[in-house]
A and B are shown apart, each in its own frame.
Chain A
């Protein structure tokens, strides 16, 4: 395995790789067992450096593949090889199926909470992934804290639309239950971010 490739894997793990580079690294990781190990080891080292107690997530790489395939449907300029193994989709792991590396098109200002549904203890702060406003592609994700198993969640446009709609439904609830239309202000001023 070349030093250059190792560096690229390291950058990908640290979220420093651009999308093109990331796709290339994933391609290489798929072909090379040594790189697979490096991928998981770098994740572990990164977590230790960030002082997180992390359970290495062996499904992560496969899920990244799945997500990239998903986004490639709308991005025909990038040709992706077939993933070597299918993405695990056991009925019992519905939550896990919903999680994946934060790859989402134009997710607006959503802060995704992860971990607290999984193994977090009541006292532990949930791991938070802040998903920034972004154009399609990889979303910068920053894991901030937590004793929980680190799992990064994916928020889709539909999720954000659903949340925004319920925020407006709450504004309607308020508006219908108090004097003055001022509570409807949030509805009238709605703007897609």
Chain B
């Protein structure tokens, strides 16, 4: 039997497929570059499970330093401004986010190591699926589909001219949309003024700061203690690891973040609180949080919390795989 015609047919199918994969990776790389390199000022909608929010984002590179401003347009007035590696969150007294802040582990953030888009094709497939119009601009649609059940998929609308992300949908295995991000209006390039980067001044405003530490990401390790993740989905690598403290009681929390280049999850390890449930699952849109109890140093119970944009089963499997290993 002559296989040559079959091979020809296969080549005819495979060649454009490979070209699409290559081209898609390039579009994703360009999308990232557009996010950090372009000047833009726009209003976008964000839908996550049950809530629809409106925000304004302004971005510019000023004297080689990235400057950004994110403004919450509905409800409580909140702004986040960034100059290089310093991020400030501006709120007003009485904001419920302020109450929650006492519970958010604080500390310097280690610089993350995020995989490049040319390394993610082992875990996602890419398909262009036509063109569309978003915020009055022409967009190319790109589907990013997971090749296993341990991550979600994405539909991206990329600006034809600048490759900036104009709309994205995060979708689960059933095709359900868990999150939607979409620009409604957008100004680009010279239309953006540095003045738009200045936060509004609010009477009695409260600022809190986040700082990106200069130190590189290292595994969480002290001479005789190590927490170890014995299973993570294929392609996920550790992006950061550091030790934070809870602002209210100064309890230390080991924090690690893993990423496959698109999706990410964080692991938090702390002494089991005196009161509380041991096993919980809470989901908000695409983000799931699961907890698991495991023995740690001196056989004390530790509470493991995995938070990420992941299917629930995957997050649970990760949480249950975390072990303490004494180095003694």
Contact = CB atoms under 8 A, between A and B. Distances in A.
Task: Say if A and B assemble together.
Answer: yes
Interface of A: 94-95, 98-99, 109-114, 116-117, 126, 128, 153-156, 158-182, 184-192
Contacts of B278: 95, 98-99, 117, 153
Contacts of A166: 104-105, 266, 268, 289, 305, 307
Given A159-B277, A191-B75, A173 B240 contact: yes
B11 interface: no
Given A110-B280, A158-B276, A185-B46, A191 B51 contact: yes
Interface stretch (B107-115, B122-130, B218-226): B107-115
- The A interface, classified by DSSP as helix, strand, loop or mixed, is helix
B112 A153 contact: no
B72 A188 contact: yes
Interface of B: 32, 35-36, 46, 48, 51, 53, 55, 57, 59, 66, 68-72, 75, 78-80, 82, 87, 89, 96-97, 100-101, 103-105, 109, 111-112, 114, 181, 210, 212, 239-240, 244, 255, 257, 259, 264-266, 268, 272-273, 275-284, 287, 289-293, 301, 305, 307-308, 316, 320
B307 A167 contact: yes
A101 to B, nearest CB: 13
A161 B282 CA distance: 11
B100 A165 contact: yes
A159 B112 contact: no
B66 A162 contact: no
A169 B247 CA distance: 12
A114 B277 CA distance: 10
A170 B281 CA distance: 15
A173 B306 CA distance: 13
Given A163-B289, A170-B266, A184-B80, A176 B280 contact: no
A126 B278 CA distance: 14
B100 A117 contact: no
A113 B55 contact: no
Contacts of A161: 100, 103
A44 B55 CA distance: 52
Nearest to A112: B280
A159 B280 contact: yes
Given A166-B268, A173-B255, A188-B70, A114 B36 contact: no
Contact of B96 (A113, A117, A192): A192
Contact of B181 (A99, A170, A185): A185
Contacts of A169: 104-105, 244, 255, 266, 268, 307
A187 B287 CA distance: 12
A60 B307 CA distance: 31
Given A167-B284, A181-B68, A117 B112 contact: no
B178 to A, nearest CB: 12
A180 B148 CA distance: 28
Contacts of B316: 113, 116, 126
Contacts of A190: 96-97, 100
A5 B244 CA distance: 54
Contacts of A178: 32, 112, 114
Nearest to A96: B278
The 10 A-B pairs of least Cβ separation, nearest first, read A177-B112, A179-B36, A165-B103, A180-B35, A189-B53, A170-B307, A170-B266, A181-B70, A176-B109, A179-B35
Residue with the highest number of chain A CB atoms closer than 10 Å, among B70, B105, B114, B255: B70
A180 B273 contact: no
Given A172-B210, A179-B66, A182-B181, A164 B277 contact: no
B273 A162 contact: yes
28 contacts: A98-B275, A98-B278, A111-B281, A114-B279, A156-B277, A158-B275, A162-B103, A162-B273, A163-B280, A163-B282, A163-B289, A164-B103, A166-B104, A166-B289, A168-B100, A169-B255, A170-B266, A170-B287, A173-B240, A173-B266, A175-B87, A176-B109, A182-B35, A184-B70, A187-B80, A188-B53, A189-B48, A191-B96
